[in-house]
């Protein structure tokens, strides 16, 4: 059934219902039943599994982003590997050895491909890590080399992440506050993670909610081998 592929062109709007709203009963039309409770009354409605829209320009960040600590504690769920490092050298420039280690954790699970992930994405990851008190960030999906080339995962400029003990809604709202243009931010309430990416040049910022509960890049294909790291560790 290929209905999910068509949902990427759907355009609906925001989150509805209470915090207790739970979607269920996906049908072949790309909608599902969502029920919420308010004042002791239970209400249900059909909602689109995928709801997306361009971000309103007036909601984007206007102040320059402050430099993060550079600290990152990252666990790649699909690889059972983790690192704790700083992406900067003492002089404030990027530490290529640290970026190379992160690139390895972001590698495509299906193919083993390693690419140089956009360094600004790692800075956003560090800001998220800083904001939520230095809790470990779990990487659900990074590079997905075998995905369509319209995906930012394919271009090594996207990440799906979650933090234990932090709601996906909290993470989503903070990630939105980091967008000063050209970012895509999505929330996956069923799977419990958020997506953060940098759009292709010239593309507007985008927001979406996806209730599909997909594996976000998890593939049954076995890795076919690893390429050389996109960044070579340096002294």
Give me the average pLDDT of each 10-residue run along the chain (235 residues).
39 39 55 74 79 96 98 96 98 98 97 97 98 98 92 97 98 98 97 97 96 55 39 40
Residue 8's pLDDT is 39
| Residues 190, 80 share a domain | yes
The pLDDT of residue 52 is 95
Integer Cα distance of 33 and 45 in angstroms: 6
105 and 48 in a common domain: no
Is there a single domain that holds both residue 85 and residue 123?
A: yes
pLDDT at residue number 48: 79
- Cα–Cα distance measured from residue 4 to residue 37, given in angstroms and rounded to the nearest whole number: 28
Neighbouring residues of 100: CB distance < 8 A, sequence distance ≥ 6 = 229, 230, 231, 232, 233
| Residue 43 pLDDT | 81
The candidate with the shortest Cα–Cα distance to 183, out of 171, 191, 195, 193, is 195
Please check whether residues 65 and 18 belong to one and the same domain. no
Residues 23 and 67 in one domain: no
**Number of domains within the chain:** 2
Round the CA-based radius of gyration of the chain to a whole number and report it: 18
One domain, residues 42 and 147: no
Tell me, yes or no, whether 232 and 172 share the same domain: yes
What local confidence, expressed as pLDDT, does residue 38 receive? 77
Question: Which tokens sit at 93?
Answer: 């420039």
pTM listed for this prediction: 0.77
Residues 160 and 207 in one domain: yes
- Pair (43, 151) in one structural domain: no
CA separation for the pair 186, 172 (Å, rounded): 7
**Could you give the angle at the alpha carbon of 74 between the alpha carbons of 104 and 142, nearest 5°?**
50
32 & 74 share domain: no
In this structure, how many other beta carbons lie within 10 angstroms of the beta carbon of residue 172?
A: 21
Q: Which two tokens stand for residue 213?
A: 């509960």
Residues 103 and 178 grouped into a single domain? yes
Q: Which domain holds residue 49?
A: 1-54
Cβ(13)–Cβ(51) below 8 Å: yes
125 and 173 co-located in one domain:
yes
Enumerate the H helices of the chain as residue ranges: 3-6, 96-105, 119-131, 168-177
Note the pLDDT of residue 68: 98
Per-residue confidence (pLDDT) for residue 212, from 0 to 100: 87
């Amino acid at each position: 059934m290929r209905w999910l592929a068509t949902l990427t062109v759907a355009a609906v709007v925001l989150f509805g219902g209470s915090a207790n709203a739970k979607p269920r009963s996906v049908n072949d039309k790309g909608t599902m039943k969502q029920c919420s409770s308010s004042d002791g009354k239970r209400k249900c409605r059909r909602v689109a599994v995928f709801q997306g829209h361009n971000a309103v320009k007036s909601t984007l960040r206007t102040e320059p982003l402050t430099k993060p600590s550079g600290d990152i504690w990252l666990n790649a769920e699909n690889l059972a590997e983790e690192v704790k490092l700083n992406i900067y050298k003492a002089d404030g420039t990027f530490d290529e050895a640290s970026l190379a280690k992160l690139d390895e954790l972001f590698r495509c699970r299906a193919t083993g491909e390693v690419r140089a992930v956009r360094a600004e994405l790692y800075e956003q990851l560090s800001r998220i890590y800083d904001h939520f008190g230095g809790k470990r960030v779990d990487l659900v999906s990074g590079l997905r080399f075998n995905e369509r080339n319209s995906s930012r995962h394919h271009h090594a400029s996207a990440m799906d992440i979650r933090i234990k003990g932090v709601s996906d809604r909290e993470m989503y709202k903070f990630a939105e506050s980091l967008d000063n243009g050209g970012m895509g931010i999505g929330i996956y309430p069923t799977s419990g993670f958020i997506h953060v990416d940098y759009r292709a040049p010239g593309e507007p910022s985008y927001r979406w909610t996806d209730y599909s509960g997909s594996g976000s890049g998890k593939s049954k294909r076995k890795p076919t081998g690893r390429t050389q790291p996109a960044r070579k560790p340096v002294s």
